[in-house]
Amino acid sequence: MWSYFARRLLIGVPTLFAVVLFCFFLMRLAPGGPFDGEAPVPPEVLANLRARYHLDDPLWQQFFSYLGNLLRGDFGPSFKYKDFTVTELIAQGLPVSIENGLSALFIAILIGLPLGITAALSQNTARDYAVSGLSMIGIVIPTFVTGQILILAFGVWLRCTPFQLPAGGWNDGAFANRILPVTVLALPFIAYIARISRASMIEALRANFVRTARAKGLPYRTVILRHALKTALMPVVTFLGPATAFILTGSMVVETIFQIPGIGRYFVQGALNRDYTLVMGVTIVGAAFVIIANIIVDMIYGVLDPKVRYE
């Protein structure tokens, strides 16, 4: 198991290298640079800027110096946030995004899983239809719409009631400031997890081994919890890999709407400002996270399914 873990990590390294390489050349090939602002910059100033950021060096030289810096944890200076290095911005934004993302995933599992499984156990009843319908709504309505609706509801309509919540800002991660963003982030995942676990539980209930368990005279509860549940969990676990990537996308929206200083917001800002180094930094960190999440998911899968043996 541990050797498998080590090997997966080792495969992760070239993947990450490919991301860095691809990102780097994509950025450098881009038409228009970070200094093409609305106001034309005088040529001398532009030349200075280009020299300062080594934009005139040969491309491969720029790449290797970037790679070398990267290995030392230096993502370079931000083009737009002149007073900060990208490393500082990421160090500041990453914990915020991780906390929110993990809280959202945790809540999504906590709510989505029981919803999906109880729906499967009462298939074709009102409860089942309600869960299926609600989860489809959760999937279909974009995050920025639910976000704005919740801001309106809790920030405006419920103003001056005990239910009022801060509709934006981070306030150094005060609990009240987290409630809305985490909820908005979690909603589609509650829906996805409910949908996936419902489908997989229905499938598990049809399996021959569940029939065997029932033929043994085991109580229904034991049949479900001991025999069916683990199999039904597999697809949910598999989903958690891509879910990490979705959460990253979701944080871009949520952090922008709620003005939260996380890496999602930095990425959006960076992309719109053509802040090459910042965008690359966030992309690399994000990719690293998704790669690690996938490895963790594979490990959990291995624990759940004895058939997956890591030789």
Partner 1 sequence: MSSLNLTSTHAGALEAAAEVEGRSLWQDAWRRLRSNRAAYVSMIILAIVALACVALPYALPWAYDAIDWDHVEAMPPNFELGHYLGTDSVGRDLLARTLVGGRISLMVGVLATLVALLIGVTVGAVAGYLGGRVDQLLMRFVDLLYSVPLTFFVIILMVMFGRNFILMFLAIGAVEWLTMARIVRGQTLSLKNKEFIEAARASGGSTFSIIARHIVPNVLGVVIVYVTLTIPQVILLESFLSFLGLGVQEPLTSWGVLLNEGAAELEANPRTLIVPAVFMTVTLFCFNFIGDGLRDALDPKDR
Partner 2 sequence: MALLDIQNLTVKFATQDGEVSAVSDVSLHVNKGECLGIVGESGSGKSQTFMAAMGLLAGNGKASGSVRFGDTELLTANERTLNTIRGNKLAMVFQDPMTSLTPHMRVGRQLTEVLQRHRGLDNAAARAAAIAMLARVQVPEPERRFQMYPHELSGGLRQRVVLAMGLLCGPELVIADEPTTALDVTVQALVLELIRELKDTQGTSFVLITHDLGVVAGLADRVAVMYAGRIVESGTVDEIFAAPKHPYTKGLLACTPRLDDPPTVLLETIPGQPPNLQNLPTGCSFHPRCVSAFEPCPVKRPLLVPAGNTLNACFLNHMQAAS
Q: Which residues of this protein are in contact with partner 1, per CB under 8 A?
A: 12, 15, 18-19, 22-23, 26-27, 29-32, 136-137, 139-145, 147-149, 152, 156, 241-242, 245, 248-249, 252-253, 256, 267-268, 271-272, 274, 279, 282-283, 286-287, 290-291, 294
CB of 206 to partner 2, least distance (A): 7
- CB closer to partner 1, 28 vs 54: 28
CB of 147 to partner 1, least distance (A): 8
Which residues, at least 6 apart from 304, have a Cβ–Cβ distance to it below 8 Å? 230, 233, 234, 237
CB of 174 to partner 1, least distance (A): 24
Which residues, at least 6 apart from 109, have a Cβ–Cβ distance to it below 8 Å? 193, 236
Which of partner 2, partner 1, none has residue 171 at its interface (CB below 5 to 8 Å by kind)? none
Name the site residues for partner 2 (rule: CB under 8 A): 123, 206-220, 222, 226-227, 230-231, 304-307
Which of partner 1, partner 2, none has residue 220 at its interface (CB below 5 to 8 Å by kind)? partner 2
- CB closer to partner 1, 222 vs 242: 242
CB atoms within 10 A of CB 177: 20
Which of partner 1, partner 2, none has residue 212 at its interface (CB below 5 to 8 Å by kind)? partner 2
- CB closer to partner 1, 11 vs 110: 11
- CB closer to partner 2, 37 vs 219: 219
Q: Is the dihedral of CA 250, 255, 258, 260 positive or negative?
A: positive
Question: What is the phi-psi region of residue 169: left when phi exceeds 0, alpha when psi lies from -120 to 50, beta otherwise?
Answer: left
- CB closer to partner 2, 213 vs 260: 213
Kindly provide the b/e burial profile for residues 114-137, where b requires at least 16 CB atoms within 10 angstroms of the residue's own CB: ebbbbbbbeeeeeebeebbebbee
CA dihedral 186, 274, 168, 141 (to 10 degrees): -40
- CB closer to partner 1, 118 vs 273: 273
29 residue type, one letter: L
Q: Are 268 and 252 in contact (CB under 8 A)?
A: yes
Which of partner 1, partner 2, none has residue 37 at its interface (CB below 5 to 8 Å by kind)? none
Q: Are 197 and 117 in contact (CB under 8 A)?
A: yes
Q: What is the DSSP letter of 153?
A: I
Which of partner 2, partner 1, none has residue 269 at its interface (CB below 5 to 8 Å by kind)? none
